Structures are given as C-alpha cells and as structure tokens.
Chain A
Amino acid sequence: MSTVEVRNLELTFYDKNRTNRVLRDISFNVDQGEIVSLLGLSGAGKTSLLRTLNLLQRPDSGQIRINGHEITNLSQKEIQEMRKRIGVVFQHFNLFRNKTVYDNIAFPLGLQKVSRKRIEEKVRKTAGEMNLTDKLTAYPSTLSGGEKQRVAIARAMIVDPDLLLLDEPTSALDPITKLRILNTVNALNQKHHMTIITVTHDMDVVKTLSDKVAYLKKGLLTFFGAPQDFFAGMGHEISLDFDLPEAETGIIRAKNDAQLITVYFWGEKASQPVLWNLSRLHDVQLNIISGNIENLKHGKYGHLECEIRGNSTADFITDLKREVFKVEVRRDV
C-alpha cells in the first residue's frame, strides 16, 4: 500500500528540430490502496508519466516520493531494490519468450534470495489466482492475449508489490477479455490493497476501475479528481477530444422556444424520479433529448440533455440544482 506524491515533474524530449515538452509541471497525490487512471489522447504524456514513477524514464526536474521517500536521487542499486517492490504490466505483455509461464512468473523471485521450494509454492499460488495452473509449462508464443496478460500480471504480483503500474493493460485485448482483466485487477486490489496507477485511453477502464482520474492534455494535468466530477466538469472537452457523439446533438435538435439544460446525476439520486416530480410540481414541460446513465465504480452516474418549457422554468432549475449533482444551462430562451 504505497502513497505516491508527484511534484512539478518536467520532461522534455529533443527530437531533431523539435522540442517536445512531454510533461509540464505535473503534480498530484495518490493515497494508499487507490486506483488512479492516467487518461488522455496519444501523445498526451501519460505513458511518459508512468515511466517516471519507477524511473524507467528520468524526469528533467521535479520530485517523486513513494511512501514519503524521494526516489529521484537514489543510487542505481537503490533504484533496483525499489523496483523489486513495484509491479509493472505493459500493453504488449513483454513476457520472456524463451521461458515457460512458470519461469516467467518465477523470474522476480529468482532475483532475490528465495529457496526453490518457496518459489514453487508462490508460483503455484499466484498462478492459481490467475487461473494459469494448467499453462505453467507452456511458452508465451502458444498463449492467447488474455492469457499472456494474466501471466504478466502474475509476474508483477508475485513479489506482493505495494504499487502496481499498468500501461494500457487492456488496449491489445478484445472487449470480453478486457472486461475479465479489469475485473481481475479490481479483485486483486480488493484483496491485496496495493496502490494502482494505470495508463489508459479507454473510458471503460476509467469507469470500472478508478477511484481518481488524472487527465493529461499535451503534457499538462488539466484535471485530477473523482470520476463523477471528471465527467460532469470536463464532459464537453473530453467529448471533443475523444470524438464522442454527445457534444453537438442537444444544440442542434432543440426547438427555438425551449431552454436547454444538462442535468448530472450521481449516486442514489440517479435512481429516483427527481425530474418527473419537479416537472409536475412546477408545471414544466420536459423533453429528454439524449443522455446516459451508467455504473461507475462507486455509484451510478448519469447525464441527461433536456429541453424545458413553461412559466416556472427558473424555479424548476433552482429546485433541481438542490436535488441533483449538477445542472448546466446550455442555452437560455
């Protein structure tokens, strides 16, 4: 269960004529046992940020503290020791091709002074947790994508890490396998309580896994906080970034005499007939144009684009703001 504090990280890549500021003054905190998603488009800096956390990539400046200890000034040997307690899982698995599944999983223990008997115990236990018991003698080339990723996770987990770093762990997998892997990661987090930081460009990962979201855009951390605040606050921007369909529809389809609002629900209120009750109370005509309600990790989150018409729309909106998570007036009459 590690805490991770990042302060003022800077990283610039020099590439022929271009100077690419990959990380710009990045600061955030991760608490013990939290799962944080690093989200953003390709090139936003999320993988670079992840790679600085185990010093695979050295930042140009800034501080990184794991459990309160500054890691940027450690000696090479100390860094190697630190890495033995951090688990890493990559997008393309990176298994050792000429080693069996057993030897891949056992590899980290072989770097420490662990007896052969103890290694076998731990490998069998971890492989069992990941449903790999009957694949132990196989070589990676014979495995499916999901199986390879499970081996990679087993190899990362076998040292009982306090911190797990995942780099787009499901990007190379089909949707069903992806869901299985995400559930596995969640289950591991429930059971072992390790802190997890995962890079992703996939909203499903954000929704099902994350306690916090760190949104990166061109090297800047433009948002850090809970997922429901992220979706409610950044909705428009991420719709544009990720080319999601919601951005333009409401504005195009509303009739001229109607007021356009976006209503955001979070938690138990998402399941209650708030709109129905209030619209009857204030005699407001309500038409839902588009919207979505779905399950985030810690509760239901919904947003609805609505047209409203009537004499008491202002009172309606005032009351509504008290009941729901957030109301945005998109266009006034």
Chain B
Amino acid sequence: MFEQLLQASLETLYMLFLSGTLATLFGIPLGIMLYLTHRSNTHKRFYAVLNITVNIFRSVPFIILVLLLIPVTKQVVGTIIGPDAAIFNLTIAAVPFMGRLVENSLKNIPQGIIDSATSLGVNGKQLILRVLLPESLPEQLDNITVLLINLVTFTAIAGAVGAGGLGQLAINYGYYRFQWDMVLYSVVVLVALSQFLQWTGTRLAQRFKH
C-alpha cells in the first residue's frame, strides 16, 4: 500500500514539474507578447486574435479540454493514458493561464519606469530582458507558485481519466472501492505538496523584493 502511495506521489510530482516547466517556458513569452501588443498601435489586431484565443482556452473546463484533445494527444504522445499524455494536456491548459498571469503582472509595472527606460533608448529586446522581467521578478515568482498549485489540482483531475498519480489513486480506491484511508493519505500528500509550494514560492519571491 505504501509503495502504491509513493509511486503515485512520484507520478504526480513528475507531471507537476514537467508541465509546470513547459507552461512557464511558453507562458512567459506569451504573457510578454500579450503585454506588448496590447500597448502598441501597430499590432492591435494581433492582440485581438491572441487575446480571444487565450480566453477560449481558459473558458473550457480542464476535463472537457482533455476529452477534446484526445485525437491530438494520441497523435503527439502515442497514447491517452498515463503521465506523459497528461503532461501534454496539462501544458496546453496551463500555458494560456500562465500567459494571463504574466501579462497582468507586467501591467502592474508603473508607466513611469517604462517611460524612463524608453527615454534611455532601449530597444525591444533590452526592454524585455533588462527592464520588464527584472522589474517584475518577484511577481513572476508568485505567478509560478500560483501556476504550480493550480496544476496540482489539475493533475488530480487528470487522474480521473487515467493519468496516474495521486488523483487516480484516490479515485480508484475511494470512488470505486470505498477504501477511504487511501483517499485520506492521497489528500494529505496533495495538501502538503500545495502548502510546501506556497511556502517556498512566497519566501523566494520575498527574497527578490526590494
């Protein structure tokens, strides 16, 4: 029983960190793109398209998204069962979410800072790498924390459709076999994981706040 719990926990962590990393890798550029095109005069149409696309993906409930993506998942991953298939779905759900978080935190950078950077003659790349990201670093770390904690929930939902991990464990034992002690253990681990992520994330963000 303990081995099953351990195995499930490791699967959950695997799904969490891989989809989290991919969502951050794609989500940050997406957020930057949303922020810059929204403010520009020449790219307003591009922003409109991007914005609506992000909204659509965010409005579809995760479990429905998984179902809709079945043919694509099968093509890309080769299967619709197991952690790898789940990572594919989780990433697609998480990237628009992370994009929005990043966009919002960039919007909170005071306009004066952007004005002074522009007045110093920065080009686009320098603005992003030397001003936007460093000035919003604590907020981006907070965003990653929020992302990961949301993903914990999503991995559990993915467990309902065969992803593996603690979600699947809890549903198999609780929903199908009424063995509530296993359910309890799964929940404890999930809660502990969330708490740990929140605690670490907050402290890390605080470290970079001046």
Contact = CB atoms under 8 A, between A and B. Distances in A.
A54 interface: yes
B203 to A, nearest CB: 17
Nearest to B133: A98
A90 B112 contact: yes
A90 B110 CA distance: 13
Contact of A97 (B119, B122, B126, B210): B210
A18 interface: no
A83 B120 contact: yes
Interface in B180-210: 208-210
A222 B135 CA distance: 41
A96 B122 CA distance: 14
Contacts of B113: 94, 96-97
B54 interface: no
B81 interface: no
A98 B134 contact: yes
A88 B116 CA distance: 7
Given A83-B120, A110-B130, A111-B120, A97 B115 contact: no
A253 interface: no
Contacts of B130: 107, 110-111
Contact of A98 (B121, B126, B210): B210
Contacts of B134: 96, 98-99
Contacts, number: 61
Max count, chain A CB within 10 A of own CB: residue among B121, B123, B137, B138: B121
Interface residues of A, number: 28
A90 B115 CA distance: 9
B128 interface: no
User: Would you call the interface of chain B mostly helix, strand, loop, or mixed?
Assistant: helix
B161 interface: no
A203 interface: no
B135 A96 contact: yes
A171 interface: no
B121 A82 contact: yes
A132 B110 CA distance: 25
B121 A84 contact: yes
B210 A139 contact: yes
Contact of A56 (B119, B135, B138, B210): B119
Given A90-B112, A92-B112, A107-B130, A98 B208 contact: yes
A107 B126 CA distance: 11
A88 B119 contact: yes
A81 B134 CA distance: 23
B120 A108 contact: yes
8 contacts: A56-B115, A77-B123, A80-B122, A88-B119, A96-B134, A97-B113, A111-B120, A111-B121
